[in-house]
Structure 1
Amino acid sequence: MPKVSAYSPMPLRRLIHLGLVACVGLALAGCVSGPGPRSGTAPTVLEVGRVYGLVPSRRESQALNRAAEALGYAAHPGQNLDGLGLYLVAVDLPEGISGQEAIAALEARVDTAVVGVNHAYRVQQDAPTSDTASLSFANAALNWPEAACRAVGPVGLIDTGVDPAAPGLQGARVVSRRFARGPRPPMQHGTDVASVLADPSRLRGVTLYAADVMATGPNDVAAGADSLVRALDWFARNDVRVVNLSLAGPYNKLLDLAVRTAAERDMVLVAAVGNAGPQAAEQFPAAFSSVIAVTAVDARQRPYRHAVRGPHVDIAAPGVDVFVPGLNGGRFVTGTSIAAPFVTARIASDRALYGRASVEAIRRAMAQDAVDLGPAGVEWIFGAGLMQAPERC
């Protein structure tokens, strides 16, 4: 089954397969994620009583506002996302109106609008395993050149906040902006991912645009689809051509449109496949067709036991017990979150790929060099296999 296209809303039969039809309908009643082995009971929808609309112009954002007010909803002024060429409109709903009802009513009145609920996206990092035999297996496994490669251009990161003073970010320039509303969670996850991406043994001269999208809610830490959309707009306005997303969640119409628009502007997105388990349905944004989906392997090239599997998996990278330097000497980190930044660094260091190649061309280039780990060819566990760095930077 091919990856979900980011160029059209997901068909009904696909939503049924993912168990999301009922979730969208019950979004404002506190719908929770499916019962996969690691999904728990965290809410799938971040905001209750609100939907968001994306439209292509200011005039249409005003039309969406008028339509909302005519329906008895409370619309907020549209936010200009000029990097993506879109406007984002938040609409608050009166009690008794479901998200599904509001979406249908607003899209019927403004046919250019894409309206959706604000799904939640969570980081994909787990506790280390007991297999900590090597402190530095990652670069060797990837055949990374001994001399660190220089970043071709700026790199984007959508995650928690990032501590620019972290030992693993020496030499990197970090430009941060917060997009989430609500209390800020600890910066550990974003700092770990950034430290893998911009490790001075791997990548030199990195300018990292760190989009802080996570907030602490009543149940857990999560990012809303609206924050991800606004972060992609920020990257587009700053000519960031490769972006790392070490988070995952359900299909969302707003994120679908934003990912498609970013791809049309030559932005390559690299995302973790997620840690919901091998029997779980595809997670997004990794399952979008224009996103590079990364899974994790350990030092013995075995698949990470909690990684999501499926036909959308593109490539594998180290993600189990990867050593990250820290103030107290460092620590081991595990998850598909940790595998994704290796692939992002690979793209950011290659002039033939950064800002010049399509997502399909990048897939082909990485598949050509990858070490095949499973059955011959691309398959559901490892994708094309273990990513390999070029012989020379």
Structure 2
Amino acid sequence: MATDSSSSPPSSPKVKKEKSSKKRKTDLTEIEVDINLPEPPSKKAKRLLKKGKALPAKPKSDDEGDSDSDGEAKPKKEKKERSPYGIWIGNLRFTVTKQELKQWFVDNSGGAITLDDITRVHLPTAKPTSAPGAGGPKKPTENRGFAYVDFATFEANVAAIALSETEWYRRKVLIKDAKSFDGRPEKKEEPAPVDLTGNAKTASAATAAPASTSTKIFVGNLSFQVTEDDLREHFHKCGPIRWVKVATFEDTGKCKGYGWVNFENADAAQWAVKGFVKVRETIDRVEDFMDVDEKEQEQEQEEKTGEDGEKKEGEDEDEEEKKKPKEQPNEEPRVKTRKWWVNQLLGRTLKIELAEDDQTRYQKRFRGKGGAQRREQNGGAGAGDGVTEVKEKKEWKPREERKKEPKFHQDINVARLTGAAVAPTGKKTTFE
């Protein structure tokens, strides 16, 4: 009797195991590419060719350069060298154009400057106020009020500088030599960045004299919830702090909105006034977080040696030394510099200024403006040198006599306005 294939017993698990044990083997062969062959068309090019359209021109790279129709490369256009004679002109009207500027030099130079002498005019323009495509008439682009003009000869450059302070459109233009930087303020050297890596060499390097020796700063626009601990935590990146003082209300104890921070170094106060401090930090590497497993090293050593502790055949000592991991020298940690901003606290922009040092504040408070003169009279002694200032004693008078004494004023006009008595002059006027 014929048996149906559907009623055949299921395949044994051995067959499945044999099938699953088979692995697909792929032979990786190297692909040879001929560089001289033309580049195959892309998918976009194939779609255009199917539709019967022409292929777009391939963009040329900068290395290949321009080429003719015959395929010959064209030489690159060399940039024209600028003339060494140039001027800067400022205080211009915002609607002045390049042609008007050229013509103004020709008309006012008395024939010393011609149009051929002007080789270049650079008139920077301002950004458009309205977005492109918006409705309404477009506003004409305006210049930024200054321009750079180059001349071919030195005589034309001198003639242009001589036109400085000449009035044009009710404005006196200012003309200077383009290479002259007289009057520009000198750039102040920044203090050395704060080193948080613990490296003493980098901390002491590039130390410059601070612009001010004051170590105390005034901090304003503080929130009412700010405490001294908050202020100390906020400015600790700038440098070591001596003390922090926050002005508080007597009844509630909350901050009045201002305070003071006294640093140990003047550089720290300079960084705080700038609103940021440059901090040096180490860059963490992956190797710093990796742990070496000792068991893996022991297994590798057991594989290299036999059961009796002898070396396996076919392995030389030189090969084993090569396989051993080389000890890497202690590499110096990589350091990066970034800005740490201190100009905001609890969402409020702080007002940070250099405050007067304790000595200057003491002189103003207890000595007054004449403190220096009194020190000279006392022989240059200070307040803590044991020298006491003797004030002139006024004669004591009873209260009744003091009330009777009128207060006179010397200026009659001030006396009329304030109602004070005028000092007598010895004349008496009587009216009948």
TM-score by length of 1: 0.21
Query: Who wins on radius of gyration, i.e. which is larger?
Result: 2
TM-score by length of 2: 0.20
Point out which structure has higher relative CO (alpha carbons under 8 A, 6+ apart). Answer: 1
